[in-house]
Structure 1
Amino acid sequence: MANILKTWFLAPALLLALSGCSSTPSVDHSSRYTLKQDRAPEGNFDVSELADAEPRYEAPRRAGNKSPYQVWGKSYRVVDSNDGYVARGTASWYGQKFHGHKTSNGEVFDMYSMSAAHKSLRIPSYARVTNLDNGRSVIVRVNDRGPFHGDRMIDLSYAAAKKLGYQSRGTARVEVAAITVKPDGSMFLAGEPFDPKSGSVMAKPAQEPVEPAEPAVESSRKALFVQLGAFGSPEPANAMFARAQRELDEPVRVRQVSTSNGRFHRVQVGPFVSEDDARYAQNLIESKGFGNSIVLTDTH
């Protein structure tokens, strides 16, 4: 009798195991995940010392770049090139449910890394994501596809979302600017030369016309500034400007610069009369949470 009962209890488990091993392309593969609902990791994961992804040249790959591709009956296309890509939309995040499972290009998803999923950017690649509500920015490595529900534009890893400050809300309004890296190591943010160490777009002086609102005499005056960031749209620049005004004692401005690749909004502190003064101010500024600043000479 015991053997009969044992067989009776094992039979459903055996059937369940067999059904889990069989799958076809039309089956919903979400069944392979242990969790039905995504969630944050347990405990208080500290991201204060977590560094951004470091952009580097990676040769084009076939994995994850099939175009067009279909998900849940809807067709999507991968861009031919990430060069110049910049867009605004809604970001969400993914975490424990997908942790340890493969991404679209065969890598393993790590919710503690600075990574992201995007529907159309070529992978692997890099992007700067800016929270339009608070001005915070991170650099992530795009190595997955998604998100495929609602109007969401990009899925960040839990760690990246926490650095941007929206992990508790679930979504945020963001600007996504692609970072492309050439074989020689040169980098471009949304088509503009870019220095990841400073986090700022490096403008080309020869291509920058003098702003019409500035008198000719004023346009020749140069001074040192601490630049907090440079943005392709005014929203993140204004958000950072407002935060800087609240938290810093020095004058803050948003300088609009037109280049051959569009208009950029530079958030700058200053001017300063000497490099020593600017460097001293930069240290104070970064101690208040404004990372990735750069000292530069600009029109006063």
Structure 2
Amino acid sequence: MKTILILGITTALVLAGCSSPSTPTQSAPATTAKSGGYYLDDGPEPSPPANLDAVPDAVPRDEPLHRFANRPYVALGKPYTPKTARRAHREEGVASWYGKRFHGRKTASGEVYDMYAMTAAHPTLPLPSYARVTALDSGKSVVVRINDRGPFHAKRVIDLSYTAAHKLGYLKRGSTRVRVESLDPAAYDTRGEALQEGVFLQVGAFSRADNAQQLLDRLTQALELDPGSSCVVLSDKLHRVQLGPYPSDDAAQAARARVRERLDLNAVLVRRD
């Protein structure tokens, strides 16, 4: 397999944070200067949004891996071999962040970097993929979509977007120790909430999300469902409409009978372990 060589722009900057899909480069970490200013004038725009705390976490969803951005490459003389499948990954180390110096430039995946989105750069996790990043000092956590490469710096394991770093509370410090855990999109519903375990009813499965939502709305109205007792689960590229969880198989069977009686629909029991 061809290995891509990444050339440094300057020894001080290490590597620029964004690039074309065929030449993934590093997001330069932001650290604060002793005077209190941002490193190399990185940081927010003159008038950053006032509601960054309200920016929702990334929602894990099943996406095809990038065709080129997961090939082996070399950065600062060190070879990296990205993962080419989404498998469990957990590590602890230092997180940094990058801001306006790279805002609007292309990431290693070819997407445009948005410092106000919930994204991140990682040296080897698949592009794109999702991870939960937890600050070890505060316990705060965010879910980010990984769409860039970096950081290529000793002991640093991930670079977060400006907003993600803001939500973890380490903008002024420039870095903090974190735990990074990869997320399986199949373990989340389409709202980005972790799936509960137990017995459920699956009432339908659709290739289109809007069709699944229409059925969910219909079920909610006809059965007078409580919030949180139904969801759309994205699995194997299908949007699956599920009700539950139920405390027992008997309770699920009773609900199945109500679905058949009121909507003339057949549901099947499914278990999440």
Report the TM-score range of the alignment, normalised by the length of the smaller protein: 0.5 to 0.7
Higher-Rg member (1/2): 1
Partner residue in 2 for 1:51: 56
Equivalence for 2:43 = 40
How far apart, CA to CA, are the structure 2 residues paired with 1:94 and 1:62? 25
Q: Please report how far the alpha carbon of residue 161 of structure 1 lies from its aligned counterpart in structure 2 after TM superposition.
A: 0.3
2:148 aligned with 1:144:
yes
Q: Which residue of 2 aligns with 1:135?
A: 139
TM-score (norm 2): 0.56
Is contact 1:195-1:202 (8 Å) kept? no
Q: Does 1:173 align with 2:181?
A: no
Shift of 1:81: 2.4
Compared with structure 1, are the counterparts of its residues 123 and 72 closer, same or farther at alpha carbon in structure 2 (3 Å cutoff)?
same
CA contact (8 A) 2:18 2:102 kept: no
Identity fraction in percent? 44
Match of 1:74 among 57, 74, 78: 78
Q: Could you report, residue by residue, the CA deviation over 1:207-236 in whole angstroms, capped at 9, with x for unpaired residues? A: xxxxxxxxxxxxxxxxxxxxxxxxxxxxxx
TM-aligned CA deviation for residue 97 of structure 1: 0.7
Secondary structure in structure 1 of the residue aligned to 2:159? strand
Corresponding pairs, count: 170
Task: Tell me if the contact between 1:38 and 1:98 (Cα under 8 Å) persists in the aligned partners.
Answer: no
Aligned residue identity for 2:55: L
Deviations 1:103-126 (A, max 9, x none): 001000010100000001000111
Higher RCO (CA < 8 A, seq sep 6+): 2
Tell me if the contact between 1:36 and 1:97 (Cα under 8 Å) persists in the aligned partners: no
1:63 and 1:106 in contact (8 A); partners too: no
> Counterparts in 2 of 1:78-89, with a 5 A limit?
78-89=82-93
* Structure 1 residues 93 and 25: alpha-carbon distance in aligned structure 2, compared to 1, 3 A threshold: closer
Query: Match for 1:105: what amino acid?
Result: S
- 2-structure distance, mates of 1:30, 1:144: 11
5+ residue gaps, structure 1 = 1-23, 188-193, 206-300
| CA–CA distance in structure 1, aligned partners of residues 7 and 48 of structure 2 | 38
Q: Which whole-Å deviations, capped at 9, do the CAs of 1:266-285 have from their partners, x for residues lacking one?
A: xxxxxxxxxxxxxxxxxxxx
1:111 paired residue number: 115
Q: Could you say what the CA RMSD is over the residues aligned between the two structures, in angstroms?
A: 2.9
Q: Whole-Å Cα distance in 1 between the matches of residues 17 and 90 of structure 2?
A: 34
| 1:102 equivalenced with 2:124 (yes/no) | no
Instruction: Structure 2: state its 5+ residue gaps.
Output: 10-14, 20-37, 200-273
1:30–1:36 distance in 2 versus 1, CA, 3 Å:
farther
User: Does the 8 Å CA contact 2:7/2:75 hold for their aligned counterparts?
Assistant: no
Pair 38,146 (structure 1): closer, same or farther in 2 beyond 3 Å: farther
